[in-house]
Amino acid sequence: MPIGSHTYDQELKIGSTTKGMRLIRDDKGASMYKVTEETPKFDAQIRFAMADWKGGHGQYFAAQPDTYFDGQSIDTTVDNKIIPGPLINQVGVAAGALDAAPAYFCWFAAIGKLMMATTSQVYWYDGTNFVSKTTITGKTITDMKEYNGILYVAIGSSDKYYYSADGANYTQTDLTDGYADKFFVSPNAAGTSNVLWKSKLPNQLSSTTDGRTVADGGAEWSSAAYIGDTSNDITGIFVVNDNLMIGREDNLFHYDSDGGVHPQMDNLKHNRSTNNFKYVVDY
């Protein structure tokens, strides 16, 4: 631009947008800037590769299509390509949206279908859409698990849970202690077969070999074990190294085969949270 005809000292144009910039000047009007050339420190060796996309993107490695090299401080991107990972497909229901946000997923091996529950409805995936199979009116679904070919749906400590053998028809249990907030399946004390565990708020744990109705062959739940005191709730049940673990808002307990209750993380008494042990995965 001709001297004297411009408003800014520098202009930066990106697409159709132009931004003007003025240089900082001293009290004599001289521009206060300097030009430097600097090469960032880098390691010329690419030291490791990624077998999946979770850590970000990198240089595509043609010999192994699922592998991307990771380079620190060097340009390992692929020109004109964005590689974010697997294609994600949005799945809803045939008529539109789900009744509420998905809350629980469970693979129902007995019928070979993925089950999904919101807080009030149970769906199965038909390969294209989620199809509503039952609505539990006026109740709140709190968990869903399969055990011995039966799908169990917990609805909290105030109402007895439901079960289904086909994913479409549901029966409410008539067992004496048919109340559950969470379900979990793990081997019995002898390690010879699985049992169905349930927790009932705030701190009760019990098991059975069949949680259906008496007419269907259901077996009453064991006497409840009390995990910690009643001031905090059970938040999760899981297994670590074949040990049954009970997570609570204020501690982690090992429940042994003799009925012993062993606290593992007393420090959580000072870090209580409803999210403690809420999300646990074995990998």
Q: What is the pLDDT of residues 130-161, one digit of tens each?
A: 999 999 989 999 999 999 999 999 999 999 99
Q: Which residues contact 113 (CB under 8 A, 6 or more apart)?
A: 107, 124, 125, 126, 167
CA distances from 3 to 6, 7, 14 (A): 7, 10, 23
Residue 54: the pLDDT is: 47
Residue 20: the pLDDT is: 84
**277 close to 236: Cβ distance less than 8 angstroms:** yes
**54 close to 43: Cβ distance less than 8 angstroms:** no
Domain count, the chain: 1
Answer whether residue 90 is part of any domain. no
Residue 57: the pLDDT is: 46
pLDDT digits (tens, 9 = 90+) for 55-106: 444 444 455 555 544 444 444 455 666 555 556 677 878 777 889 999 999 9
Q: Which domain holds residue 130?
A: 104-226
Answer whether residue 213 is part of any domain. yes
Q: How confident is the model at residue 12 (pLDDT cuts 50, 70, 90)?
A: confident
Answer whether residue 126 is part of any domain. yes
Answer whether residue 180 is part of any domain. yes
Q: Worst-scoring range by mean pLDDT, 66-70, 163-167, 260-264?
A: 66-70
pTM above 0.75, yes or no: no
Supply the CATH number for residue 183's domain: 2.130.10.10
Answer whether residue 32 is part of any domain. no
The b/e string for 106-124 (b: 16+ C-beta within 10 A; e otherwise) is bebeebebebbbbbbbbbb
